[in-house]
Amino acid sequence: MDTNTAKKHALKLIEQASSLSDSAVMDLLNRTVAHNYKVISDDPVVRAEGVWLYTRRGRKLFDGVAAYSAANFGHGHPLMKEAIRLFLESGAPEVLGRFLPDPWLALLGERITNLTGFENFLPVNGGVEAPETAVKLARRWAWQVKKVHQPEIIFAGHCWHGRTITMTQMFDEDDNAGRDGFGPFPPGFVRVPFNDLAAIAKAITPKTAAIMLEPVQGEGGINIPDQGYLAAVAQIARENKLLTIWDEIQTGWARTGKLFCWMHEGDAAKPDIVCVGKSLSGGFGPVAGILARREIMSLFGPGSHGSTFGGSPFSSMLGVAALAVYEHEEIGKRATETGNWLRPRLEAIAKKAASIKEVRSRGMMFGIEFKRTGKDATTYAKKLLELGVVAKDTHGWVLRFTPPLTATHEELEYALEIMEKAFVA
């Protein structure tokens, strides 16, 4: 197909998507796409820029979710868009079998290991593949290094590591939508309460291989452990010759003000394996992976693990560009300063709102918990959407507010005014 013909066809596809009526969009979604997500609006989002989402009916919405932290830099970041344009113009292959050398993956490997201090990076497609890969690596380490057969991994209740069969079993046992009908689940996993050191110590047996935790539980309700919890868990792991796996897919890349959330506790909290994803792509595609010391990662040899698009030239370019945004715009510093500015303002609203129990936060990761005596978080999420702010409920009574880390005070003031109207009125 020549360039002119391709352009005509591409323009036709754009026109087809743009010309779909609202009812046609909803009808097609309902008839042709699996209903594993609940669509909460019938007004399609057709454009996005920075912290703003624009709908077909002309509404301007503040994005207070940032695609669950995948859009930490906002929508349509200029460096990301320019990198994509130049990559496509360069003629580089967009996908390439990993059996051939790729300069983009080489560059991503150099940048991400230099920035994070881990020696090796293993790229995968999307977020859930990272903890899956970490579990595989921990099990192989248990077999080959610790000589443990039937290894077990300790995890925390209210966690969220994804929805594969392995990770689905980690949902709370009363989570009917998440668990029902998906068993039998693979063995080798032990649940303990989050933020409970004694429970972890008690759960360790000769079969234990690793402890896997989120430094802050996002989907679980923005649950923040006691200061020093991660460092203490890491110490317990070292004393018992166990691996630590921190899932930083939501909390990583400065969402909490540090490159990784564990860094709030210093080097004593550094894990053996860390899971990364979401904003590693700058919001432009599924880019994820795990980072680890070379001695651990070397247990993966050729044929032991793979991913067709993980580490492709295009996804690697996205990763390189996203890390450049993180460094050049001092995203961690901005997240810390903005989070410190935002928290007292949300707390001031909470004091006026009889329905709010408390506000929890670390950096730019906020959870607003409502009292069980009134309207739940779902009700407030719908009300906010009607007024012009996108926020997401979780576990019934907690509203997550995780706007782009690049949001300005002026933009956040817009969201705060609407939130006060929704919570206090």
pLDDT at 3: 85
pLDDT at 425: 73
Contacts for 4 with CB less than 8 Å, ≥ 6 apart = none
pLDDT at 174: 81
**Is pLDDT of 396 > 90?**
no
What percent of the chain clears pLDDT 90, i.e. is strictly above it?
92
Distances (CA, A) of 88 to 28, 81, 102, 148, 317: 31, 11, 15, 48, 11
- For the chain, what's the residue count? 425
pLDDT in tens, 219-233: 999 999 999 999 999
pLDDT at 178: 85
pLDDT at 199: 98
**Rounded CA separation 199/155 (Å):** 11
pLDDT at 44: 95
Nearest to 422 by CA among 64, 71, 72: 64
Distances (CA, A) of 130 to 287, 291, 341: 10, 9, 33
The rounded mean pLDDT for the chain is 96
pLDDT at 324: 98
pLDDT in tens, 402-423: 999 999 999 999 999 999 999 9
pLDDT in tens, 59-100: 999 999 999 999 999 999 999 999 999 999 999 999 999 999
- Listing from the earlier edge strand, what are the strands of the sheet with 60-63? 45-49, 52-55, 60-63, 389-390
Q: How confident is the model at residue 298 (pLDDT cuts 50, 70, 90)?
A: very high
pLDDT in tens, 274-284: 999 999 999 99
Q: Could you give all domains of the chain from N- to C-terminal order, each with its CATH number?
A: 80-328 (3.40.640.10), 335-364 (no CATH)
Distances (CA, A) of 331 to 186, 217, 226, 337, 371: 39, 21, 25, 10, 34
**CA Rg value for the chain:** 22
- Mean pLDDT (whole number) for 123-148: 96
Higher pLDDT, 111 or 425: 111
Global pTM exceeds 0.75: yes
pLDDT at 204: 98
**Is pLDDT of 177 > 90?**
no
Q: Which helix (H) or strand (E) holds 60?
A: strand 60-63
**Is pLDDT of 214 > 80?**
yes
**Is pLDDT of 342 > 90?**
yes
**Is pLDDT of 175 > 90?**
no
pLDDT at 176: 78
